[in-house]
Chain A
C-alpha cells in the first residue's frame, strides 16, 4: 500500500524546482558558473547557502570547466556534488564530462537546454546535451517543472548506486521549463533527506591490497584518474558500459520507490507511453514538447484516430527493449528531434530509434521531424500536421520525405 505523504504546493519555475530539489538533497558542494537560462538555479541556491538553509559549500568558479572539475574532485573525496549549466557552458565542460564519468564520480547536473553558437542564441533546443550523449553521463529529459524536481531528487540515488556510480544529467528545456512558473508539489525536507540518504561508497581494493571505501582518504590512500594504456583502458570503458546497463534497472527501482513516497510516476521511468498501446500512428519526442503532443493526441483520440505518443525520458542509457515493446502496434512513427546531426541523415533521436527498431519483429515506417531549433515555437497545429502526414503514409504506403523540418522557412 502506498503511504503517500502530504506535500506542499509551491509556484516554481523549472530552475527553481532544480534548486529546491538540490537544497533538500543534502548536497555537500555546488560549484557553478552563470549562463542563461540556468542562472536562476545558481542564484536560488546561493540564497539558500547564504540564509543558512543548507550547509553546502558554494563556489562561484571562473568557468564551467572549473565548475565541473571542482564537482568531480569533491565527488572523489566522497562528497555529494551538484552543478548546473547550459549550452556553451556544457560544451566547455566537454573534457571534464568524460573525466567525471571515467572516474566514476556520481556528480548530478541540471542542464537548462539551450542552442549552441554560432549564431548566438539563448533559447531552448537539445543541441547541447545531444552533443554529449556519448560522454558517459546518464541523461534524463523532463517534461515539466514537477518532473524536473522529482528527477533531480532521484538523480542522486541513481548516480550514487554502487552498481551504477555514474554522473547524471537532468535536462530541462530552456525557458519553456527553466523560466515558466508551475505548481510544483514538493516533499517535506525530512522525506527527501531520508529518500536520498547518505552517499554509499563501494568497497574497492587499494594498490596495497587493502579493502577501502572508494574515495580519496588519507587513511587509505589511493590514486584516482591514473593511467591505463593498451593494457587496461579498454576494460575501464567496458565497465562504464556495464554500469549504464545496470542503470536501466536502478533508474526504474529508484523511480518506483519514489512513486511510493510521492504518488508520482513517469511511465516506467525510462519511457512514458501515452495512448500508444493500440496506436497505429505515433510520435516519439523528449522533454517539454510531450506536453503539447499529448493535447493533440487527446483531440485525435476524440476523433477516433489511433494516435499515440512515446516520450523517451531516459535517453542514456537508451531503453532499447522498452521502446520496441511500446511501439508494438505502431505502423507509422514520427521521431521528433530538437537537435540536428549535420550530415548525419536526420537527428540523433531518429538515428537511435531507427537503430533500435532494426531488431524489432515489425518495422513501422519511421520519419524524422527536426523542430524548435534556437527556441522556435512548435504549435499544436504543427504537431497535428505530423500526425496527418503519418496517416497519409499509411494510406499511400509510401514515405515521400523521410526527414522534414517543422515551421522552417526554406
Chain B
C-alpha cells in the first residue's frame, strides 16, 4: 500500500517505517490501538505532548514502536512505575500506559493498586485476554476457574481477579470495563479517561485467537468477538443479579467516575503553599 492510500489515522499518528502492528491476525490489540488513536483524534489532543508507556507482553506492543511520539517500552510488570516517574517529573505530559493482564495484574499487580491509591494522573489501559499471550498461553491471574492452559493442563484451580473492583477499591478516579466488541463505548471512555483528573483505568476484555483460542477450541476472531458481546452485561443490570447469575458474564460499563484530586495536582498545591 502506498503512503497516499493509508488510513488517515495511520498517516497522522504512525511512525514512518515502523512495523504497523506486530500482532497475530485477528488479535484484539489492533482494535484497541485504533480506538486509542480515534479518541486522540476526536479530542484533537497534542500527540507530541503524550507519552505512551508499556510493559512486556503482546499488548505492550500496541504503542511501540508504532505511535509516532514518545514511547517508553519498559520491563515486565513495571510500566506503571515508569509512568509514575514520567508524570511526576513532567506533569504537563499526558501519560498513557498499555499493559496486559499478566503485566498489570500478576507481576505488576502491586504497582496497579498503588497507582490507583495514589490517584496519579495516568490513563492505564489493561488488555485482559485472560492469559499470558506472548509467552505461549500460560495461566494468568485473570484466567477463568477451571480453564485449561499451558500450565494448567487439567484446569485452573484458582479464581480470577475482578480488576475493576480492585482498582475502584484502591481509589482510582475513573474505572471502566469494555470488550473489543464495544468499540464505540471504548473510544468514548478513552476520551473521558484522557481528560479525567486522577488515575483512570480501562480494562478491555480482548480476544487472543492464538493462545486463548487454542485452549477453548475457537480460533476464529469474529466468533470470539461475538462471544465477548454475548457474555457482556451492562453494570446497571448486573447490580441486581446474584453471584450465580453473573457466573461467566463480563460486567461492562462504568464502575466509578468520581472527582478526586490527582497526585501531581496535590503535589503542586503543596509546593506552592510551602514555598509561599
A residues whose Cβ falls under 8 Å from a Cβ of B = 33-36, 39, 42-43, 46-47, 50-51, 60, 62-63, 88, 92, 117, 120
Distance A62 CA – B151 CA, assembled complex (angstroms) = 13
Given contacts A39-B136, A43-B136, A120-B56, contact A88 B76 (CB under 8 A): yes
B107 near A33 (CB under 8 angstroms)?
A: yes
A43 near B150 (CB under 8 angstroms)?
A: yes
A62 near B153 (CB under 8 angstroms)?
A: no
| Chain A residue at minimum C-beta to C-beta distance from B134 | A36
Distance A62 CA – B154 CA, assembled complex (angstroms) = 19
What are the residues of chain B within 8 A of A33 when measuring CB–CB?
106-107
What are the residues of chain A within 8 A of B115 when measuring CB–CB?
none
Q: B79 on the interface (CB 8 Å rule)?
A: no
Q: B138 on the interface (CB 8 Å rule)?
A: yes
Task: Pull 21 A–B residue pairs with CB atoms less than 8 Å apart, ordered by A.
Answer: A33-B106, A33-B107, A34-B132, A34-B150, A34-B151, A35-B76, A39-B135, A39-B138, A43-B136, A43-B138, A46-B151, A47-B153, A50-B152, A51-B153, A60-B152, A62-B106, A62-B109, A63-B77, A88-B76, A120-B56, A120-B73
What are the residues of chain B within 8 A of A51 when measuring CB–CB?
153
B154 to chain A, nearest CB (A): 4
B153 near A46 (CB under 8 angstroms)?
A: yes
Q: B139 on the interface (CB 8 Å rule)?
A: yes
Distance A34 CA – B56 CA, assembled complex (angstroms) = 12
Task: Tell me which residues from 152 to 183 in chain B have a Cβ below 8 Å from any Cβ of chain A.
Answer: 152-154
What are the residues of chain A within 8 A of B136 when measuring CB–CB?
34, 39, 43
B150 near A46 (CB under 8 angstroms)?
A: yes
Task: Tell me which residues from 50 to 95 in chain B have a Cβ below 8 Å from any Cβ of chain A.
Answer: 56, 73, 75-77
Q: B209 on the interface (CB 8 Å rule)?
A: no
Q: B141 on the interface (CB 8 Å rule)?
A: yes
B residues whose Cβ falls under 8 Å from a Cβ of A = 56, 73, 75-77, 106-107, 109, 132, 135-136, 138-139, 141, 150-154
Distance A43 CA – B136 CA, assembled complex (angstroms) = 10
| Chain A residue at minimum C-beta to C-beta distance from B148 | A50
A84 to chain B, nearest CB (A): 12
What are the residues of chain A within 8 A of B56 when measuring CB–CB?
88, 120
A181 to chain B, nearest CB (A): 17
Distance A33 CA – B75 CA, assembled complex (angstroms) = 15
What are the residues of chain A within 8 A of B150 when measuring CB–CB?
34, 39, 43, 46
A63 near B107 (CB under 8 angstroms)?
A: yes
Q: Which residue of B75, B135, B139 contacts A36 across the interface (Cβ within 8 Å)?
A: B135
Given contacts A34-B136, A43-B138, A46-B150, 7 further A-B contacts (CB under 8 A): A34-B135, A35-B135, A36-B135, A39-B136, A60-B139, A62-B109, A120-B73
What are the residues of chain A within 8 A of B154 when measuring CB–CB?
50
A63 near B73 (CB under 8 angstroms)?
A: no
Given contacts A33-B107, A39-B135, A62-B107, contact A117 B75 (CB under 8 A): yes
A308 to chain B, nearest CB (A): 41
What are the residues of chain B within 8 A of A88 when measuring CB–CB?
56, 75-76
Distance A62 CA – B138 CA, assembled complex (angstroms) = 12
A222 to chain B, nearest CB (A): 31
What are the residues of chain B within 8 A of A92 when measuring CB–CB?
107
Q: Which 3 A-B pairs have the closest CB atoms?
A: A63-B107, A50-B153, A62-B106
What are the residues of chain A within 8 A of B138 when measuring CB–CB?
34, 39, 42-43, 60
What are the residues of chain B within 8 A of A120 when measuring CB–CB?
56, 73
